[in-house]
């Protein structure tokens, strides 16, 4: 008997998690990625588990979807935090892509790189197939849109300064992002900055380590993370909202340098010119590695979100799901992985004709998915990106008692709700 087939579009962290989750449930899974590597943004990320992200990672493990978190924990480079963050670690970004790709392949997923989906076909109100340019159609029973919400070139030029040539998305080489939910006719929602401009500016950039002052570099490689107060003229109070609000005001008053392995990352500064950077002590000879054209801007994000239910099924569609930045105003690796795990599992359930799972609001993951879904339902509210670690949502976690650093308590909470291993069930 043929197994039902789940087709996942986009091999960022959300898509990898969705594919692994659907495969564990017993579906045949095809993962289509437009570039020649997986994890996209994750190749210059690295920072995990700080603040409420720890809760999300541990809940995911308890629910039965811990593979990618555990893989990243096996390549930890530092236990380190910038200001206003606690309990974080940094993974080695060079080791991340191969190890996540291996998790996907071990799960039995048919990963097809350089497969950029350009359109969809529908029949009797259902998605039937996706078109991969001239390579033809890939049919499926259910589909998960994990195409993210970044770029492409014309978006970054229109709402940023230019295509800043980021190493994470490489649109000039592999072609712009295409959303299958949008192609299927779902509304496309955008986050807006305070001045109404669509999308927000990417918060991260990275520097060649060899261009840092040697004393600063030695300290950075020893401590893992350093927050350097910014000269007054470089502090811009509006910057926090142009990057979607996923930092604290105090973080915005610092250059937060993190050793992610091959390069040093600056967390939260969005776009600065190389000349501005060189005004910071220790960075007098700094050379930017990503994005290459940073003096002209940075990648534009959160430009394509699909309204969806708490099951992560796209509203109005029977066999289309969304995860990651495609599924709401969220940013961060933990955030997109946990949505991927649920969307992939539910896509397998839908393909097998089984009832879908909704996670209760007494879990941080369930609450976050419901909360970000609600934000999409409130007209005019899409101006912040949410994460388990920052501003409003982290505050909400603390107030509702969902935040703790007691790992055993997190696992116990999932057990008491009768949810241990619920997303690892083999259904087919």
Tokens of 249: 């005001």
Q: List Cα–Cα distances, 406 to 24, 47, 200, 411, in angstroms.
A: 28, 20, 34, 9
Residue corresponding to tokens 């955008």: 190
- Of residues 91-120, those binding ligand FAD (CB under 6 A): 116-117
Taking CB under 6 A as the criterion, the residue among 24, 78, 177, 345 binding ligand FAD is 177
The dihedral region occupied by 165, where left means phi > 0, alpha psi between -120 and 50, and beta the remainder, is left
**C-beta separation of 69 from 119 below 8 A:** no
Closest approach of ligand FAD to the CB of residue 417, in Å = 25
Q: 257-296 mask for ligand FAD (x: CB under 6 A)?
A: ----------------------------------------
Output DSSP code: residue 257: E
**C-beta separation of 165 from 294 below 8 A:** no
Whichever of 47 and 200 has its CB closer to ligand FAD, that residue is: 47
Name the residue whose CB lies closest to ligand FAD.
12
Q: 202-221 mask for ligand FAD (x: CB under 6 A)?
A: x-x-----------------
Tell me the window of 9-17, 119-127, 344-352, 375-383 that interacts with ligand FAD (CB under 6 A): 9-17
Angstrom distance (rounded) from CA 184 to CA 44: 31
Peptide bond between residue 291 and the one before it cis (omega within 30 degrees of 0)? yes
Closest approach of ligand FAD to the CB of residue 236, in Å = 19
Residues 385-394, buried b or exposed e (16+ Cβ, 10 A)?
Answer: bbbbbbbebb
For 402, counting Cβ atoms within 10 Å of its Cβ (0-12 exposed, 13-18 middle, 19+ buried), the class is buried
The dihedral region occupied by 35, where left means phi > 0, alpha psi between -120 and 50, and beta the remainder, is beta
Q: What angle separates helix 391-400 from helix 364-377, to the nearest 10 degrees?
A: 130
Contacts of 368 (CB under 8 A, 6+ apart): 56, 330, 335, 338, 386, 388, 393
Angstrom distance (rounded) from CA 406 to CA 196: 41
Residue 331 touching ligand FAD (CB under 6 A)? yes
Residue 51 touching ligand FAD (CB under 6 A)? no
Taking CB under 6 A as the criterion, the residue among 45, 77, 271, 272 binding ligand FAD is 45
Residue 256 touching ligand FAD (CB under 6 A)? no
Closest approach of ligand FAD to the CB of residue 1, in Å = 29
Residue 303 touching ligand FAD (CB under 6 A)? no
Taking CB under 6 A as the criterion, the residue among 12, 160, 244, 373 binding ligand FAD is 12
Whichever of 7 and 63 has its CB closer to ligand FAD, that residue is: 7
**C-beta separation of 205 from 265 below 8 A:** yes
Q: How many residues in the shown chain lie near ligand FAD by CB under 6 A?
A: 36
Peptide bond between residue 152 and the one before it cis (omega within 30 degrees of 0)? yes
Whichever of 40 and 357 has its CB closer to ligand FAD, that residue is: 40
Residue 140 touching ligand FAD (CB under 6 A)? no
Residue 61 touching ligand FAD (CB under 6 A)? no
Closest approach of ligand FAD to the CB of residue 109, in Å = 14
Residue 35 touching ligand FAD (CB under 6 A)? yes
Residues 90-113, buried b or exposed e (16+ Cβ, 10 A)?
Answer: bbbbebbeebbbebbeebebbbee
The dihedral region occupied by 387, where left means phi > 0, alpha psi between -120 and 50, and beta the remainder, is beta
Whichever of 326 and 419 has its CB closer to ligand FAD, that residue is: 326
Tell me the window of 99-107, 144-152, 154-162, 364-372 that interacts with ligand FAD (CB under 6 A): 144-152
For 293, counting Cβ atoms within 10 Å of its Cβ (0-12 exposed, 13-18 middle, 19+ buried), the class is middle
Tell me the window of 215-223, 248-256, 279-287, 328-336 that interacts with ligand FAD (CB under 6 A): 328-336
Taking CB under 6 A as the criterion, the residue among 4, 15, 65, 307 binding ligand FAD is 15
Q: 332-361 mask for ligand FAD (x: CB under 6 A)?
A: xxx-x-------------------------
Taking CB under 6 A as the criterion, the residue among 7, 25, 31, 41 binding ligand FAD is 41
Angstrom distance (rounded) from CA 311 to CA 327: 11
Tokens of 374: 């609600």
Whichever of 224 and 331 has its CB closer to ligand FAD, that residue is: 331
Residue 147 touching ligand FAD (CB under 6 A)? yes
Taking CB under 6 A as the criterion, the residue among 4, 7, 20, 42 binding ligand FAD is 42
Binding site for ligand FAD (CB under 6 A): 9-15, 32-35, 40-42, 44-47, 116-117, 146-148, 150, 168, 177-178, 202, 204, 324-325, 331-334, 336
């Amino acid at each position: 008997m043929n197994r039902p087939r789940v087709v996942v579009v986009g091999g960022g962290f959300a898509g990898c998690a969705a594919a692994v989750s659907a495969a564990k449930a017993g579906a045949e899974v095809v993962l289509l990625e437009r570039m020649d590597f997986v994890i996209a943004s994750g190749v210059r990320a690295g920072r995990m588990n700080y603040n409420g992200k720890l809760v999300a990672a541990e809940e995911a493990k308890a629910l039965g979807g811990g593979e990618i978190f555990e893989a990243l924990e096996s390549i930890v480079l530092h236990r380190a935090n910038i200001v206003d963050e606690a309990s974080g670690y940094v993974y080695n970004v060079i080791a991340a892509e191969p190890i996540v790709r291996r998790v996907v392949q071990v799960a039995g997923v048919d990963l097809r790189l350089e497969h950029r989906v350009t359109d969809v076909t529908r029949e009797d109100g259902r998605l039937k197939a996706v078109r991969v340019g001239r390579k033809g159609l890939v049919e499926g029973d259910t589909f998960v849109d994990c195409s993210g919400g970044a770029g492409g070139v014309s978006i970054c030029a229109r709402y940023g300064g230019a295509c800043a040539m980021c190493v994470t998305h490489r649109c000039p080489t592999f072609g712009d992002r295409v959303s299958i939910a949008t192609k299927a006719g779902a509304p496309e929602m955008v986050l807006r900055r305070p001045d109404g401009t669509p999308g927000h500016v990417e918060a991260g950039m990275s520097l060649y380590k060899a261009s840092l002052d040697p004393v600063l570099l030695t300290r950075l490689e020893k401590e893992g993370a350093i927050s350097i107060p910014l000269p007054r003229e470089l502090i811009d109070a509006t910057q926090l909202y142009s990057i979607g609000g996923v930092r604290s005001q105090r973080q915005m008053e610092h250059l937060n340098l993190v050793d992610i392995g091959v390069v040093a990352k600056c967390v939260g500064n969005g776009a600065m010119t190389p000349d501005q950077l060189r005004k910071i002590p220790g960075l007098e000879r700094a050379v930017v590695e990503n994005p290459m054209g940073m003096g002209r801007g940075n990648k534009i994000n959160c430009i394509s979100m699909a309204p969806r239910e708490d099951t992560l099924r796209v509203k109005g569609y029977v066999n289309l799901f969304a995860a990651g930045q495609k599924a709401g105003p969220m940013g961060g690796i933990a955030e997109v992985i946990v949505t991927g795990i649920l969307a992939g599992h539910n896509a397998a359930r839908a393909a097998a004709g089984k009832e879908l799972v909704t996670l209760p609001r007494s879990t941080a993951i369930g609450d976050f998915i419901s909360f970000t879904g609600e934000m999409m339902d409130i007209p005019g509210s899409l101006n912040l990106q949410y994460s388990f670690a920052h501003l409003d949502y982290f505050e909400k976690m603390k107030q509702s008692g969902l935040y703790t650093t007691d790992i055993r308590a997190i696992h116990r909470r999932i057990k008491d709700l009768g949810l241990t291993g619920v997303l690892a069930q083999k259904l087919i």
